[in-house]
Amino acid sequence: MPSRQQVRELLDQGLDYRSIGERLGIPAGQAHLIATGVPADGGDTLPTGDRQRSGAQPAGQALANPPAENPTSKERVRRWIRSRVRADPQLREATARREEKSERFREPDEGGATVVLTREHNRIAAMIKELKTLPGHSTGGSAEQIAQRGELVGSITAMLNRHETIENEHFWPAVRRALPDGDRWADGAAQRQQQEQETLSALGEHAADSEEFDQLVGRLISQSHQHAAYQDHLFLELRRVMSAEELESLGEVLRQVTNQDSSR
User: 189 pLDDT exceeds 90?
Assistant: yes
| Dihedral, 209, 210, 215, 218 alpha carbons, nearest 10 | 0
Mean pLDDT for 103-132 is 78
- In this predicted model, what pLDDT tens digit does every residue of 195-217 receive, in sequence order? 999 999 999 899 999 999 999 99
Mean pLDDT for 94-109 is 46
- In this predicted model, what pLDDT tens digit does every residue of 127-143 receive, in sequence order? 999 999 999 998 999 99
Burial 92-112 (b: 16+ CB within 10 A, else e): eeeeeeeeeeeeeeeeeeebb
DSSP secondary structure string, 198-243? HHHHHHTTS-TTSHHHHHHHHHHHHHHHHHHHHHHHHHHHHHHHS-
Burial 153-166 (b: 16+ CB within 10 A, else e): beebbeebebbbeb
Average pLDDT, the chain: 79
pTM of the model: 0.56
- Residue 241 is which amino acid? V
pLDDT tier at 51 (50, 70, 90 boundaries)? very low
- Look at residues 175, 217, 185 and name the one whose alpha carbon lies nearest to residue 199: 217
Domain with CATH 1.20.120.520 in the chain: 110-262
| Sign of the CA dihedral with 71 first, then 72, 75, and 77 last | positive
The CATH homologous superfamily of the domain defined by 110-262: nmb1532 protein domain like (1.20.120.520)
Mean pLDDT for 111-136 is 90
Is the model more confident about 83 or about 21? 21
Q: What is residue 75's predicted lDDT score, i.e. its pLDDT?
A: 54
pLDDT tier at 72 (50, 70, 90 boundaries)? very low
- In this predicted model, what pLDDT tens digit does every residue of 7-43 receive, in sequence order? 888 888 888 878 887 788 788 778 777 887 777 655 5
Task: Region of 65 please: left (phi>0), alpha (psi -120 to 50) or beta.
Answer: beta
Q: What is residue 191's predicted lDDT score, i.e. its pLDDT?
A: 94
